[in-house]
Amino acid sequence: MNKVKFYVVAAFLAITFLGVFQSCKKGEDDPAISIYSRKDRLTNTWTLNKYEKNGSVQDISGTTHIYSINNNGTLTHTIEGSIFGFPTRTVRDGQWVFMSDDEDVKITIGSDVTIFNIQRLASKELWLKQTIGADTHVYYYTGL
């Protein structure tokens, strides 16, 4: 009888914990289980490593885009590259906030407001999708 009770309690706890961890999954490509909240996973330094427009990979060589996202809702966007062989660097501060039950993130830098749908948010992977008119843009970032 004690073995049956043990298995029932163990099954109940497993189902309960799985439900709690599943609630962290919002994006369709998010990890199935994560011990970190979406806010904790988004808080990172993200470097753009791939960009697709309408499913076609775009050339991003020569330019580096970095988002440093803080837990307090602030961020820094850094763009580095070169124009006619001269190095350029632009650094802008802004804010971020989750929207739509944490499925979207709104990034505000100055007067520019951009809303991205979060396709995947893992410890070291961030995929952001944006639709502008008939064009779909997907940005793939790698975290530290």
**pLDDT tens digits along 66-105:** 999 999 999 999 999 998 889 999 999 999 999 999 999 9
Task: Tally the domains of the chain.
Answer: 1
How far apart are the C-alpha atoms of 99 and 144, rounded to whole Å? 24
Q: How confident is the model at residue 16 (pLDDT cuts 50, 70, 90)?
A: very low
Who's near 64: CB < 8 A, 6+ residues apart? Answer: 47, 48, 78, 79, 80, 81
CATH number of domain containing 114: 2.40.128.280
pTM across the whole model:
0.78
Host domain of residue 117: 2-143
Q: Are 139 and 131 in contact (CB under 8 A)?
A: no
